[in-house]
Structure 1
Amino acid sequence: MRNSRHRKRAAVALATAALTGFATLTACDASGGDATAPNGPSAQDRAAPEPAPVWDTGPRSLAAVGDSITRGFDACSVLSDCPEASWATGSDDGVRSLAQRLLGKQRAATHSWNHAKTGARMADLPEQMTRAAAHEPELVTVMAGANDACRPSVDRMTSVADFRADFQESLRTLRREAPKAQVYVMSVPDLKRLWSTGRTNQLGKQVWKLGICASMLADADSMNRAATDRRASVQARVVAYNKVLKDVCAKDRRCRYDDGAVFDFRFDGDQLSHWDWFHPSKEGQSRLAEMAFRGVTASRSQG
């Protein structure tokens, strides 16, 4: 009798142990333990990817890099910089720069910086990015490329491959120094449009003879085959540069391109400097600031 009860207790214990072991194994599988589910990846493998950063439409500091347009060249006086009229960081109330529109006039005076340089090409941008990143800005504006197309001759224009490599290096430089900075990239202006508008002014054409953007503006009145082909080559290069800006920017999660807004803008005589009929006047600078503000504050990229 005792042996019979002993055998029953042993059988119950064995069954209980088996059930406990099965439950433990099942729980381990269900929670993504060491065992891999036969029909798919473990819970860890199915973890959601890190979400892309959300574009901040209200950055609180701004650094600008680029060329003479961002320096306000010829906006105030002949053949000289006028940074107070810069579309990006200027203090001129008539322009209402991007910095003033985003930060307010008082904060813009202490939290915006202009590292653009007249005559700069894309190859100069990495060094400018280093200087801009030192401020740890929340936003960096880029407007460069016109001088890569505006050369003494067509064959001296920056190649598309070099332009791409220099822009990629510029973004890498910024990411090393200021990885969380947002970047807003303005397209290269339509240089052929500027030629067609400015050539109607005799004074402007005289200034062009000093060598301003000779690849496009030389022999401004000539419509022979050579001149037409030369201008078409410059125009095609600008279009290619803008494609590079768009493509490279699209691969950086914190970069936004203006989707050709500057290139597509139909500048008229009032928006061109009356000192050279090429660079933006104060009114032109204001229009650039307006376009940039719309792009930066849009809920999502236009591109």
Structure 2
Amino acid sequence: MRARPSFARSVAAAAASAVVVVALVFTAGGASAAPSYPAKMAALGDSITQAATTCSSLSSCPANSWSTGTNTTVQSHATRLRLAGDTGLVAYNDAVSGAASAALPGQAATAVSQGAQYVTIEMGANDACTSSVSTMTPTATFQANVTAALTTLRNAGTAHIFVASIPSLMRLYNLEKGSFSARFVWALLGVCKSMLANPTSTSAADVARRAAVQQRVDDFNAVLAAACQAVTTCTWDKGAVANYAFSKSEISTTDYFHPSLTGQASLARITWAVSPWVS
């Protein structure tokens, strides 16, 4: 006659089986699946995303854009997605040179109409770069514009939204203020007067003016971070662009303000590193 297993052995075996089952359930349910590739993407923003000055003049050159550009030297987000296997990706560049945050809700609506499943946003430099400190966009207005745009994208079910921070205007000033060529071009073209006017002046008023402009940029970045973090499908760049120390080779010598071709490649690299497909 065969001996029956003891009660203790039966309980132990059952417990072990239960542990295995629970582990399998948690492994299957807890594993984070890689984000699906988008069929379409769109870039929102201003002249930075239009890659202005990277061709032969002050005009836009979207082929060199950090977001949707096709120039393999830049290795844009669109290029990296295609290289990763998203070969059928269609990319739209809806950014407009000179645009400020007031244009962002409309750009978001355009991206929705295009069926974009991945949307990048780089906006805010023109809200701080105005004729004077008094004409900068109020932070509350900037917040309303950004929130409206993200709400449009969220309500449309946009799968992935990426928000890049605004570059440091003070760092740009400090990098180029010693260059006669930069100072000449800034004055000739009236580039970002709120920050770059009277670049050699060390008067208390001018020092305070520059600090006020950079503070507004910092405030805008705080708005972008909070607004993005409130949307589950949005990825914030964690200040990657704001904290990046651009070198002179990464700044265009056409206006000593916009990213050069090398700068666009750097933007693509540092933002891709914190994109939904990497971070």
TM-score (norm 1): 0.77
1:61 aligns with 2:40: yes
The equivalent position to 2:162 in structure 1, one of 158, 173, 184, is 184
| RMSD (Å), alpha carbons | 2.1
Q: Counterpart amino acid of 1:200?
A: G
**How far is the alpha carbon of 1:169 from its aligned partner?**
0.5
1:169 is paired with a residue of what secondary structure? Answer: helix
**How far is the alpha carbon of 1:180 from its aligned partner?**
3.3
Aligned residues between the structures: 248
1:286 aligns with 2:262: no
1:221 aligns with 2:218: no
**How far is the alpha carbon of 1:239 from its aligned partner?**
0.5
Contact 2:76 / 2:265 at 8 angstroms: preserved in 1? Answer: yes
Q: Counterpart amino acid of 1:123?
A: A
The equivalent position to 2:104 in structure 1, one of 106, 119, 125, is 125
Which residue in 1 is equivalent to 2:20? none
Q: For residues 59 and 231 of structure 1, do their structure 2 counterparts lie closer, same or farther at Cα, with a shift above 3 Å needed?
A: same
Q: For residues 205 and 55 of structure 1, do their structure 2 counterparts lie closer, same or farther at Cα, with a shift above 3 Å needed?
A: farther
Contact 1:91 / 1:109 at 8 angstroms: preserved in 2? Answer: no
Report matched runs for 1:195-210 at 5 Å: 195-209=173-187, 210=189
TM-score (norm 2): 0.84
**How far is the alpha carbon of 1:92 from its aligned partner?**
1.1
1:275 aligns with 2:271: no
Contact 1:102 / 1:293 at 8 angstroms: preserved in 2? Answer: no
Instruction: Name the % identity.
Output: 39
Which residue in 2 is equivalent to 1:18? none
Which structure 1 segments of 5+ residues have no match? 1-50
Report matched runs for 1:1-12 at 5 Å: none
Which residue in 2 is equivalent to 1:73? 52
**How far is the alpha carbon of 1:146 from its aligned partner?**
0.4
- Stretches of 4+ aligned residues off by more than 4 angstroms: 105-110, 297-300
1:115 aligns with 2:115: no
The whole-number CA distance in structure 1 between the counterparts of 2:121 and 2:46 is 9
The whole-number CA distance in structure 2 between the counterparts of 1:151 and 1:87 is 24
The whole-number CA distance in structure 2 between the counterparts of 1:279 and 1:213 is 11
State which structure, 1 or 2, has the greater radius of gyration over its C-alpha atoms. Answer: 1
1:141 is paired with a residue of what secondary structure? Answer: strand
Report matched runs for 1:108-187 at 5 Å: 111-176=90-155, 178-187=156-165
Contact 1:55 / 1:254 at 8 angstroms: preserved in 2? Answer: no
Which residue in 2 is equivalent to 1:90? 69
Q: Counterpart amino acid of 2:65?
A: S
Contact 1:100 / 1:108 at 8 angstroms: preserved in 2? Answer: no
